[in-house]
Structure 1
Amino acid sequence: MRALAAVVVLATAALIGWRVLGPAEVIEVATEPYPVAVVRAPGVAGKTTQAPLIVDGRIRVYAGKRLVKADGPVDFRTMHTPRWSFRRWPAQVSGVVAVGTTVVSRWTDGELVALDGRTGTVAWRAGGPAGPGFAGRTGAAAVWAPPGLHVAGTSVLVAAGQRLLARSAADGSLRWTADLPPGCADNSFVTAGGRFVCGTGAWDVLSGAVVRGWPSGPSTPVGCDVARSACGGLRDASGQGWLTGDRRPHRATALDQPGTTAAGGLVLATSGDAVTASGAASWSWPGNAQVLGVRANKVVLLTATLELVTLDAQTGRQLARFAAYTDNERVEPWKPHLWQVTDAFVALERLRPGAGADPDEHDHYYTIDPEILAAI
């Protein structure tokens, strides 16, 4: 009887341990209607504790260490109760990207899980190479710069080690695979013209075929969207600039200068007293600013005095200008880290001026809600 009792106790303990520590998933789907797209006047809309990936112009998706969740509409002043959430254990979130309304998450065990952004239900899942672990408190790297995870048209590209694979964002089907040179996957990017660039080579995103005659690498991308995708230009190994909006790169001497960027067919240069455009349009805007991106015929700038400015991409005419703070927060210096620019909004992570590269260091972020969200 004592032996039987001991077996029962051990079995019960094992069951409890499995329920607590064993692999598990929890899905909570949306119960409210899908939010409508928001249109509002330029200005700061709010701030959040975690970095929001704006999806479909309607919801905000966040990444935690073992969680992907969404709220909405986009212009909520703070984070709200999630519309939907998806948790896994013990794997960690490695990165999150979106194609249309499909939200694709990559996990450290190699699992790719696609969620319908409208409902939070699982659209498809597939295996893949293991991803790096979750980093930082806000999840900014996971949603705005996920390592080895990119989008290209209707495909999701996953790079790890010496392997690259492309899956359909619609159903997860494998479209092609390619072999990569050693050690290049960590610095990969995708051009606006449909080329995956890694190390010394380039591959076509539609077929996976090697692209011949590409500028010598390794290259430095410029003018990228989130997930180092849709990059408008690059500087090759010798520092020469190229526009990459087409299938074949075009030499752009104006992009040779460090600090210049390219997007929407424009080469944008910043100096101490002006932002100048060349290429598809030619103009100059007086002021000291950093280029955040170009979307919907608008150039988005962050000035040295921490104001957000939007300009008409064709004429350089100033469309809006406002301080990058909410009404109820103290006005102190900060520096930008990562960001996302969409057709209607910009989301940006703010760090302390003296913050280093370690997101876990003391006093790294600007306030407890370091992510600012603004209509542009």
Structure 2
Amino acid sequence: MLLRGSAAAFLLLATVLVGWRILKPAEVLATSKTPYPPLVVSAPGVLGRINVAPLIIEDRLRVYAAKHQVRADEPVYGKSVYTTRWSLRRWPEQLSGVVAAGPTVITRWSDGALVALDGRTGRIAWRAEAGAGPGYAGHRTGAATVWDPPGLRIAAGAVVVTVDHQIWAYDVSTGAERWRVTAPAGCADGFTTAGGAYVCATGAYDLATGKAVPGWPAGPFVPAGCAVARSGCAGFRDGASRGWLADAPAPRRSPALDRPESTIAAGLVVSAGNGVVTAYREDGSTLWTWSGQARLLGGVTGRVLLLTPDHYLVGLDVRDGRARYRFRLAYRKEDDLWDLGGLMVSEHYVAIERRRKGGPDDPDSPIYYYTTDTVLLVAL
């Protein structure tokens, strides 16, 4: 009996120790010593499909979000997910959001930690503390965490974190706190402009100083021409539905952007409606038109990107509106029974999250996404 009791006690102790090792709070960092991948520009077309949404870093590598981990792989043009290049896991904290500026990848966690990683190596560049972030909301693909993270924006060398009525701004290169302000209600989840402002329903704040920008139009605002994470937006519409360009510290009126179906792509104000895509000069006059039903996806240098109803991607030349390429958004023999979910457009690549056409609205449903590998990778 004594031996049996001792054995049982030993097994219980071993179980407790193993459980503690697995579940105890821990941070595990895996870095990379291999050279930073070179920039490779692929010919326009569909490259592959993967099951997670990538945050594309300098068109050189891909960063993915999971509930307790951020990780990277390469190459960007790879047709599937490859061996992890670097990763950071923090247990039991949850990953709230990820943004990037150049090669610097900034992660926000549920305990309020901001951890910046050098995307080239995965090494920690700096740490800072802000208010507690929300839990992981990326669902199966992680798209919401890397493409539209709540309360996390970036522009003008600053990363902005919002919690309730508090707004923090940190320097991207060092992690030093630039400023902290208490904002009115309705300012928790705004956007940043290419001209260096954080904009929310009640006004705008200078990203360098945190001071309210004088002479700003009245909100609420609708951003236009934004990069990933509603950051670096090129323009917006104000509370009176008037359009403004926001590529400089002081916004400039843009009557062409008054149209609710218009946005800014590749430096142009572009609208799509009634079967015509129209690009406008800064004075509001028409620069060119393209006939056809399409949805504006954004723009890259020299091209305006369209998605047609039959799932073709069209790249229009910014100078004359002519189609420079047109190809079907399908991997091999896939059908077109999907709707656009989220997307990220980089300079040479785009990632498209696809929802099942006619499927449920619940991202946790097994039939919410188009396929298991629901994110399409496309070269521009």
TM-score (norm 2): 0.92
Question: Cα offset for 1:8?
Answer: 8.9
**Residue among 349, 355, 358 paired with 1:354:** 358
* CA distance, structure 1, for counterparts of residue 221 and residue 41 of structure 2: 38
| 1:305–1:272 CA distance, 2 compared to 1 (3 A) | farther
Question: Cα offset for 1:15?
Answer: 4.5
Tell me the SS of whatever aligns to 1:211: coil
Question: Cα offset for 1:125?
Answer: 1.3
Question: Cα offset for 1:132?
Answer: 1.4
Which residue pairs with 2:171 in the alignment?
A: 168
Question: Cα offset for 1:284?
Answer: 0.8
Question: Cα offset for 1:351?
Answer: 0.7
* CA distance, structure 2, for counterparts of residue 85 and residue 295 of structure 1: 29
| Within-5 A mapping of 1:315-330 | 315-327=320-332, 329-330=333-334
**Residue among 279, 291, 308 paired with 2:281:** 279
* CA distance, structure 1, for counterparts of residue 288 and residue 359 of structure 2: 35
Question: Cα offset for 1:20?
Answer: 2.3
Do structure 1's residue 141 and structure 2's residue 144 form an aligned pair?
A: yes
Which residue pairs with 2:378 in the alignment?
A: 374
Question: Cα offset for 1:213?
Answer: 1.7
Tell me the SS of whatever aligns to 2:278: strand
| Unaligned ranges ≥5, structure 2 | none
Do structure 1's residue 191 and structure 2's residue 196 form an aligned pair?
A: no
Which residue pairs with 1:241 in the alignment?
A: 243
The one-letter amino acid of 1:287's match is: G
The one-letter amino acid of 2:106's match is: V
The one-letter amino acid of 1:374's match is: V
Task: Indicate the RMSD between aligned Cα atoms, in angstroms.
Answer: 2.0
* CA distance, structure 2, for counterparts of residue 147 and residue 193 of structure 1: 21
Which residue pairs with 1:337 in the alignment?
A: 341
The one-letter amino acid of 1:259's match is: E
**Residue among 183, 186, 194 paired with 1:180:** 183
CA offsets 1:32-55 (integer angstroms, 9 cap, x no match) = 332111112111111111001110
Which residue pairs with 2:124 in the alignment?
A: 122
Tell me the SS of whatever aligns to 1:25: strand
Tell me the SS of whatever aligns to 2:297: strand
Which residue pairs with 1:72 in the alignment?
A: 74
Q: Is the 8 A contact 2:266 2:301 kept in 1?
A: no
| 1:367–1:322 CA distance, 2 compared to 1 (3 A) | same
Aligned-pair identity in percent equals 48
Which residue pairs with 1:251 in the alignment?
A: 253
Do structure 1's residue 57 and structure 2's residue 59 form an aligned pair?
A: yes
Tell me the SS of whatever aligns to 2:144: helix
Tell me the SS of whatever aligns to 2:310: coil
| Within-5 A mapping of 1:295-314 | 295-314=300-319
* CA distance, structure 1, for counterparts of residue 59 and residue 334 of structure 2: 29
Which residue pairs with 1:98 in the alignment?
A: 100
* CA distance, structure 1, for counterparts of residue 249 and residue 187 of structure 2: 21
CA offsets 1:130-178 (integer angstroms, 9 cap, x no match) = 1111121100011111111111122111111111111111121111112
Bigger CA drift: 329-338 or 78-87?
Answer: 329-338
Do structure 1's residue 154 and structure 2's residue 157 form an aligned pair?
A: yes
Question: Cα offset for 1:12?
Answer: 6.4
* CA distance, structure 2, for counterparts of residue 10 and residue 331 of structure 1: 54
Q: Is the 8 A contact 1:231 1:263 kept in 2?
A: no
Tell me the SS of whatever aligns to 1:147: coil
* CA distance, structure 2, for counterparts of residue 299 and residue 173 of structure 1: 37
The one-letter amino acid of 1:290's match is: R
Which residue pairs with 2:32 in the alignment?
A: 30
Q: Is the 8 A contact 2:156 2:194 kept in 1?
A: no
* CA distance, structure 1, for counterparts of residue 133 and residue 299 of structure 2: 30
Q: Is the 8 A contact 1:110 1:129 kept in 2?
A: yes
TM-score (norm 1): 0.93
Question: Cα offset for 1:83?
Answer: 0.9
Question: Cα offset for 1:254?
Answer: 2.3
* CA distance, structure 1, for counterparts of residue 359 and residue 350 of structure 2: 22
The one-letter amino acid of 1:98's match is: A
* CA distance, structure 1, for counterparts of residue 51 and residue 201 of structure 2: 35
Q: Is the 8 A contact 1:59 1:70 kept in 2?
A: yes
* CA distance, structure 2, for counterparts of residue 116 and residue 357 of structure 1: 36
| Within-5 A mapping of 1:219-230 | 219-230=221-232
The one-letter amino acid of 1:291's match is: L
The one-letter amino acid of 2:311's match is: L
Q: Is the 8 A contact 1:243 1:265 kept in 2?
A: no
The one-letter amino acid of 2:22's match is: V
Q: Is the 8 A contact 2:360 2:367 kept in 1?
A: no
* CA distance, structure 1, for counterparts of residue 108 and residue 217 of structure 2: 30
| 1:10–1:175 CA distance, 2 compared to 1 (3 A) | farther
